[in-house]
A = this chain, B = another copy of it.
């Protein structure tokens, strides 16, 4: 199958469909309508059909989608059908939470290395991972790791980003907005917790909000 260019918004929704399909498959659904999947996920069914149409329709009228086949196809589109090795830098509370996150393995991610600059942490284990010294980050290049996860404080973010790029990392999931990517050919997805919280009050109607 030739892969068409899919809009970013659709790519963003595909993992959500995948999660829904996984759950419904575990519940024993062999076939599923876009309506049922949409209800399960709380999204619009026309949106699902439109998003899936970008890479060819897999549904059968009256029966719907084959759950297992659609799951396989979405994994393939998202390149999740092979295991991706990832490295995490910054083993504070947030880094530890990410290292212990149960959902990554299911999606084909394997965090194989973790780095920190704190001598008290270096050499200790979090789960199966031994924390390494961040000054050895450049040695990553030999380890065929594609994905970097940045969970360092703001003031260490730029240096961490530069080092990960120098070590050949191709994609970054970052919890820090505090750096410039420049002209690097790297895909960066930023999770900025404060910015997500900051747009919440806009939607809240309350008498206690006063104009200033």
| Interface residues of A, Cβ cutoff 8 Å to B | 11-12, 14-16, 18-19, 42, 76-82, 84, 86, 92-94, 96-98, 100-104, 107-109, 144, 146-147, 149, 154, 170-173, 177, 180-181, 187, 189, 191-206, 208-212
Contacts of A193 in B (CB 8 A): 98, 101, 103, 173, 191
Chain B residue nearest to A16 in the complex (CB): B195
The complex places the Cα of A84 from the Cα of B19 at a distance, in Å, of 33
Say whether B211 contacts A19, CB under 8 Å.
no
Bound-complex Cα distance A84 to B98 (A)? 27
Asked if residues B189 and A200 are in contact (CB atoms below 8 Å), the reply is yes
B residues near A96, Cβ cutoff 8 Å: 93
Residues in B with CB closer than 8 Å to A97 are 92-94, 97
